[in-house]
Homo-oligomer: A and B are copies of this chain.
């Protein structure tokens, strides 16, 4: 397509990127400052809801109708990935439309032609080209890519383009040229603190593929559980897992499943700390006297001063290097608790006699030894922040959980690295907060291009102290879509409102794909109440969020004891309340209009009325359930705060200043309502408080 024909532009900022020798055009569009003559046409065009936003989107006029006659033709190379990818694509397109497509029918008018130039690598590589070009006209679509990885990404884009229109299900006429900003776009799942079965992991891999993530990092061992079968050291899983682990056969099948979807599986075995589960079966590896049991307050560390430890790890890593084909191997290395080392004279003696200064030096020694073992088994070692030490070769990769500044430090020293700080899903942040975290920002923004190239990407992290197989989807999705966009899309893609609209679109499509982030929490409400009618409870659940950061983890003595049920309201509510966010936006609109916008006031009143009446119905229900009694004050707060909001609106409507005494009273209510109860936060207090504040000045001008 000639550039002259590029007439319509999508509203979101975009970057027309090059690959394979084309010129680089960089447009950083913001409609307010940079107008194309035809922008109004673009605004009238159907709003695309792609996530992540592609590098380049040229929206045309018209659309390609998707009906029963839709067919697919493959003209390029196929290593099996394309065929399997098309099968899944057709199945999801059926789910998204309700049309029972038949493979190979193919005499239809609308046709997608797929062409991959080359086979993909036999083991998926970090450097592998993932780009693709998708061209849709009114009569057909063409998807081209250097290899089948790009084809998989392009098929996901096509699925996101499909939407119902007045004329039928359709994909808009569009030309998309797309490639990722970062090569490493991961999701880490901790399967130790709560065991996550493979069917749950599989549907999460489906979700990852939908947003073009390409690395599933499995945190396979930690104090609380050892989750993979070792044939060489069977006591690892037998004594260290309570029976919940993956067999090697299962893992092989799972790795193939992930590969089919363009996702690498990176294994992590956390050593020398976080290793209690190893030491239950093999206490001789520990730095202190055993025996050890899975659930305990002792956090033992492996003994880095004895050769037996390295012999064991050599055999073990050799076995695992054979099972996991990925080029990288994660050895954890974080949060080594020095107590056992301090208490062991033999170890302190070793430190002194080897000229080390402290435990950190000892860990660096351990890591050096380990790196040689990992390297001997043809893998590249990755570790968390703490492994960064000048004695280690530049070939290792550092994953930062501490903060973005360590990325710059590592890159400057020549180490490749990944960002995870800012992407911890267990901290229950809003998507917008993760979205604002860029791997190349702060100190890293000042790096040289070569140093910047050391920043490989990042990983969202799902630590599992407080999630189960039941709730994990709701903690990962849809928020991970925002992180996926940060890692794939041009850095300039920053519009938070647009991101949330597209995240909402992603959300229901992911449920159709099999994820349960919306449906599972809904069922949890039923069982807490023991009732089919959860309407009033839902009203409350929709406006609260779990407490943030480590507040909840710190309130629990043994957060990692998986026998503690996670079945309270805090476990069933979304990390982010869409209702509360939309309500905040409504109140902003109303305030910005000088309290004149009648439609936003009508909607605000409608919400506040519903909430103010809710406690009368809900409280008697909450009383009946031991799980919900703790939420009674919360329900009372919702109704009381909403009543205050209605009263404030009345003052505003009457153009009458609210009495000072009344406002003082309401402010005390707001302060109390902002306090977490039952470990959840009521998210509509701030906007109501703004209305109450405003009512002080509601006299006629």
Question: Taking beta carbons and an 8 Å cutoff, which residues of A are in contact with B?
Answer: 68, 95-100, 102, 163-169, 242, 468, 470, 504-505, 507-508, 511-512, 519, 522-524, 526-533, 562-563, 565-567, 571, 623-629
CB distance from A517 to the nearest CB of B (A): 12
Query: Contact partner of A68 among B166, B531, B563, CB < 8 A?
Result: B563
Q: Is the CB of A523 within 8 A of B512?
A: yes
A163: B residues at CB distance < 8 A: 530
A519: B residues at CB distance < 8 A: 511, 519, 522
Q: How often does this chain occur in the complex, in copies?
A: 2
Q: Is the CB of B563 within 8 A of A100?
A: yes
Q: Is the CB of B563 within 8 A of A98?
A: no
Q: Could you pull out 8 A-B pairs where Cβ atoms are within 8 angstroms?
A: A97-B567, A99-B567, A100-B562, A166-B623, A504-B531, A505-B531, A511-B519, A512-B526
Q: Is the CB of B625 within 8 A of A166?
A: yes
Q: Which B residue sits closest to A571, measured CB to CB?
A: B98
A166: B residues at CB distance < 8 A: 623-626, 629
* From A102, A527, A567, A625, residue with most partner B Cβ within 10 Å: A527
A167: B residues at CB distance < 8 A: 626
Q: Is the CB of B98 within 8 A of A527?
A: yes
A627: B residues at CB distance < 8 A: 164
Please measure, in the bound complex, the distance between the C-alpha atom of A169 and the C-alpha atom of B628, giving whole angstroms.
12
Please measure, in the bound complex, the distance between the C-alpha atom of A482 and the C-alpha atom of B389, giving whole angstroms.
69
Q: Is the CB of B98 within 8 A of A470?
A: yes
Please measure, in the bound complex, the distance between the C-alpha atom of A334 and the C-alpha atom of B511, giving whole angstroms.
41
Q: Which B residue sits closest to A628, measured CB to CB?
A: B164
Q: Is the CB of B528 within 8 A of A508?
A: no
| Shortest Cβ-Cβ A-B pairs, 3 listed | A98-B567, A504-B532, A508-B526
Q: Is the CB of A565 within 8 A of B470?
A: no
Q: Is the CB of B99 within 8 A of A164?
A: no
* From A165, A167, A169, A242, residue with most partner B Cβ within 10 Å: A169
Please measure, in the bound complex, the distance between the C-alpha atom of A169 and the C-alpha atom of B165, giving whole angstroms.
48
Q: Which B residue sits closest to A623, measured CB to CB?
A: B166
A507: B residues at CB distance < 8 A: 532
CB distance from A605 to the nearest CB of B (A): 12
Q: Is the CB of A565 within 8 A of B68?
A: yes
CB distance from A420 to the nearest CB of B (A): 28
A626: B residues at CB distance < 8 A: 164-169
A628: B residues at CB distance < 8 A: 164
A96: B residues at CB distance < 8 A: 527
A468: B residues at CB distance < 8 A: 98, 100
The verdict on A527 contacting B97 (CB below 8 Å), with A164-B624, A164-B625, A629-B166 known, is yes
CB distance from A351 to the nearest CB of B (A): 42
Q: Is the CB of A165 within 8 A of B624?
A: yes
Please measure, in the bound complex, the distance between the C-alpha atom of A95 and the C-alpha atom of B565, giving whole angstroms.
11
Q: Is the CB of B532 within 8 A of A565?
A: no
Q: Is the CB of B164 within 8 A of A102?
A: no
A68: B residues at CB distance < 8 A: 563, 565
CB distance from A198 to the nearest CB of B (A): 16
A95: B residues at CB distance < 8 A: 470, 523, 527
Q: Is the CB of B624 within 8 A of A527?
A: no
Q: Is the CB of B563 within 8 A of A102?
A: yes
Please measure, in the bound complex, the distance between the C-alpha atom of A514 and the C-alpha atom of B625, giving whole angstroms.
24
Query: Contact partner of A523 among B508, B563, B623, CB < 8 A?
Result: B508
Q: Is the CB of A164 within 8 A of B505?
A: no
CB distance from A63 to the nearest CB of B (A): 12
A511: B residues at CB distance < 8 A: 519, 523, 526
CB distance from A582 to the nearest CB of B (A): 9
CB distance from A529 to the nearest CB of B (A): 7
Query: Contact partner of A504 among B98, B242, B533, CB < 8 A?
Result: B533
Please measure, in the bound complex, the distance between the C-alpha atom of A242 and the C-alpha atom of B104, giving whole angstroms.
12
Please measure, in the bound complex, the distance between the C-alpha atom of A108 and the C-alpha atom of B165, giving whole angstroms.
59
Please measure, in the bound complex, the distance between the C-alpha atom of A512 and the C-alpha atom of B521, giving whole angstroms.
11
A508: B residues at CB distance < 8 A: 523, 526-527, 531-532
Please measure, in the bound complex, the distance between the C-alpha atom of A626 and the C-alpha atom of B163, giving whole angstroms.
11
Please measure, in the bound complex, the distance between the C-alpha atom of A529 and the C-alpha atom of B512, giving whole angstroms.
14
A563: B residues at CB distance < 8 A: 68, 100, 102
* From A96, A164, A562, A571, residue with most partner B Cβ within 10 Å: A164
Q: Which B residue sits closest to A527, measured CB to CB?
A: B96
| New A-B contacts (11) at CB < 8 Å, excluding given A95-B523, A167-B626 | A95-B527, A97-B527, A98-B566, A98-B571, A100-B562, A100-B563, A164-B528, A164-B530, A165-B624, A504-B531, A508-B526
Q: Is the CB of A100 within 8 A of B565?
A: yes
CB distance from A468 to the nearest CB of B (A): 7
CB distance from A47 to the nearest CB of B (A): 10
A505: B residues at CB distance < 8 A: 531-532
CB distance from A136 to the nearest CB of B (A): 17
